[in-house]
Amino acid sequence: MELTIGESMKTRTNNIDKISELGQPDLCYILKTNNKINANESSYHYVLGINASSSASLATYINKLINSVETKTNSWLPLSSWKISNGIYCCYNVFSKVDIRVEVQIPGGVVSYLIDSSKKRCPINDESLWNETYISSILRAILYDDEYIKTGSDNFSIISGIKRVNIFESEEDEDEFLRIAKVIYDTGKYNIGQNDEAVSPTISNNYLTQAIVKYFSNTKKHNKAIKFFEEIYKTRPEIGSVISKLYFDSSRVIEGITTLHKAIQSGSRSYELYIAQANFLREKGRFKEALSIANKAVINAITEFYPWELLANLYIDLNEYEKALQALNSCPMISNKKKDLSGKNFCRPSKKRIPHNDDIPTIFESEHHALNVLYSIEESDDDYDKYSDVHSDFLKLPGKRLNGTYRKAYDVLIRILNNVGWDNLLQYRSKVFIMEEEYKLNIQFKTPESEEKIANKEKEMNKLQVKKRMQSLVRSKPLLESTNSLIDNKLSEKTDKKPEKDDGIITTRITPYSVEEIKDDKVTEDMNKMNLNDDEEKLKEPEEKVVIEFDNKENAEKEHKVVLSFENEEALRSKDDFHIKFDEDSSSSSNNENGENSQNAEGGENEDDDDQ
């Protein structure tokens, strides 16, 4: 039911220039009047499968609708005091991009006209437009199944009420359809569009060819379709891929192979022929032979999705997963083109009145055999029950929402995952690809600014490690032993070269320096001047920050006990630039026992370098 009179017609007219594919389903608009209360009410519904070969056939549908609701008291369109005063049937012509409309006025007559892409009303002067409109109506009836509508509409509830009728009532109707379709092929107007996995239409891949194959395959009438396409094959051998498919579907393999062979021998370089041949070999398990043919298909149609998808699947069959990922990455991805069924192109009804009883089958249960039957979309809760025990996070995974090439590429990737597992898939990915984030980081780190940042960061990390190590030297006895060993080795070197002194206690005092002094190499200069056993240094006793003391000479020579203490927090922090340098000139010589210790110390010097 419409909220405003004629809003569905207005919406259809406004969107006529936006149609890019097969267009919207046929629209039947009904205007009712009530003379008792002097009021009007309008309603509409969508139709698929009506014979639109003439204005008379469309007017007949409206008259049958009026008669059916007036003669049935329990009709789905109760009239009582309401009478139908006007009816308009709209059918979009895919080939000429116009909307054919037939208006039935009661009382009155029948008027037919068209709305062109500029939204202007024009008379129908070319009778060939009716043939095109007839084929357009059948294409939508065959291809617009419930799954297509659901995946193509972003607001499915708006167009959920669709009336389907049987497109062919007899064998003669099928023959008439094929006769008019042959005219479309001969005029070259078959390039009206293709499925979502192809970039451009061909004679083997377009909506008209797809509809013929689908209908006659579903009705098990392969021979009639084969006979029709064989007439086209005489001038267009690339249609041989379609004929071979019909042969294979009807279990006539020899005829299918023969057709493929003749088509390829004719010189045709259609990628569909190579794909059909490769698919046949793949089904027989001859993967390597199929791979060489798939490569030919890629060369002849490098911008198409199908050859790359086949190549990726063949690499998976051969367990060459890295090449499969490369082929999958080369697939040209195409977005979903089903924009004609977008909810924004349809009028939102103010109220729905769709019958629900046992006499009305659903689209899911029908085989398009009932004439003039209103079908309803069955809304089942089975899907919800099926996933009731699944965690909500897993229901948000993107795979189920993908369509077209994205869905097929996702299926190929899942096939690899099932074969090798997640960890191995990640390993193959890391060998083949550099992810976008990794590439950006790689490019970023190559700049001088980024390299400087990295160097500064590493320097800070090194300082932090030194700080933690110094703190552990103070607080942890096991770690203290490594520092004691370092100092012992250094002292052993000194005592080996200089005579021993009997001053009892050996003390070294190290004063931390500022950052400026460190940069000016003041630390190195002062450390070179340092003399551990200089009596004058003992007497001066400058302000001490860090003190390393041996309790006595005996400890220095034998027990090697060292106490490392920090007198304040400033001294603790200054250990980032903490160095111990021993002045060999000021050291005293040692006796033979100390000399042996010195040799042992020299042997461990390199091992303790990192500790210093």
Task: Write the DSSP assignment of 94-136 as a string of letters.
Answer: TTTTEEEEEEEESSS-EEEEEE-TTS-EE----THHHHHHHHH
Is 438 among the domain residues?
A: no
- Other beta carbons within 10 Å of 277: 24
Classify residue 426: in a domain, yes or no. no
Interhelix angle 305-317/271-283, nearest 10 degrees = 20
Instruction: Flag whether pLDDT at 587 surpasses 50.
Output: no
| Phi, psi angles (nearest 5°) of residue 102 | -120, 120
Distance of CA 544 to the CA centre of its chain: 67
pLDDT tens string 531-571? 544 444 444 444 444 455 555 555 555 544 455 555 565 65
Is residue 369 scored above 50 in pLDDT?
A: no
Report the Cα–Cα distance between both ends of the chain, in Å, rounded: 89
Residue type, 101: R
Domain shared by 354 and 482, yes or no: no
Higher pLDDT, 501 or 124: 124
How many residues belong to the chain?
Answer: 612
**Which pLDDT score, from 0 to 100, does residue 226 have?**
94
For residue 162, tell me if it sits in a domain. yes
The per-residue pLDDT for range 482-492, each reduced to its tens digit, is 555 655 665 66
Least confident residue range of 156-170, 189-203, 275-289:
156-170
Q: Is residue 177's pLDDT more than 90?
A: yes
Q: Among 210-224, 335-349, 596-610, whose mean pLDDT is lowest?
A: 596-610
**Better pLDDT: 270 or 342:** 270
Cα separation, 146 vs 373, whole angstroms: 16
* 400 domain-assigned: no
Which residue type is seen at 132? E
Residue 5 pLDDT class (50, 70, 90 cuts): confident
Residue 508 within any structural domain of the chain: yes
Check residues 563 and 161 and name the one with the higher pLDDT.
161
148 in any annotated domain: yes
* Of 379, 398, 426, the domain-final residue: 379
In a domain, 318, yes or no: no
Question: Are 493 and 358 contained in the same domain?
Answer: no
Q: Among all chains, which residue has been given the structure tokens 């400026």?
A: 516
DSSP letter assigned to residue 557: I
Domain end: 379, 395, 429, which one? 379
Does residue 268 lie in a domain region? no
DSSP H/E element including 90: strand 83-93
372 versus 579: the higher-pLDDT residue is 579
Q: Is the pLDDT of residue 594 over 70?
A: no
Q: Which domain holds residue 553?
A: 476-603
Determine the Cα–Cα distance for residues 291 and 288; give it in Å rounded to an integer. 5
Q: Which residues of 6-23 are buried (b: 16+ CB within 10 A; e: fewer)?
A: bbbbebbbebbeebebbb
In the beta sheet, which residues pair with residue 31?
Answer: 42, 86
In this prediction, residue 237 carries a pLDDT of 92
Question: Residue 507, SS3?
Answer: strand
Residue 305, pLDDT above cutoff 70: yes
> Which is it for strands 98-105 and 121-122: parallel, antiparallel or unpaired?
unpaired
Residues 372 and 480 in one domain: no
- pLDDT tens for 67-121 read 776 555 444 455 557 778 888 999 999 999 999 999 988 777 889 999 998 889 9
Distance CA 156, CA 12 (A): 17
Angstrom CA distances, 527 to 221, 380, 417, 455, 583, stand at 101, 87, 63, 27, 8
- The count of domains in the chain is 2
Whether residue 497 sits in one domain with residue 368: no
Q: Pick the range with the lowest mean pLDDT from 13-27, 40-54, 355-369.
A: 355-369
Q: Which residue has the tokens 């049935």?
A: 72
Comparing 45-59, 100-114, 196-210, 462-476, which segment has the lowest mean pLDDT? 462-476
Q: Do 20 and 159 sit in the same domain of this protein?
A: yes
Residue 393 to residue 247: CA distance in whole angstroms = 45
Question: 152 and 21 in one domain?
Answer: yes
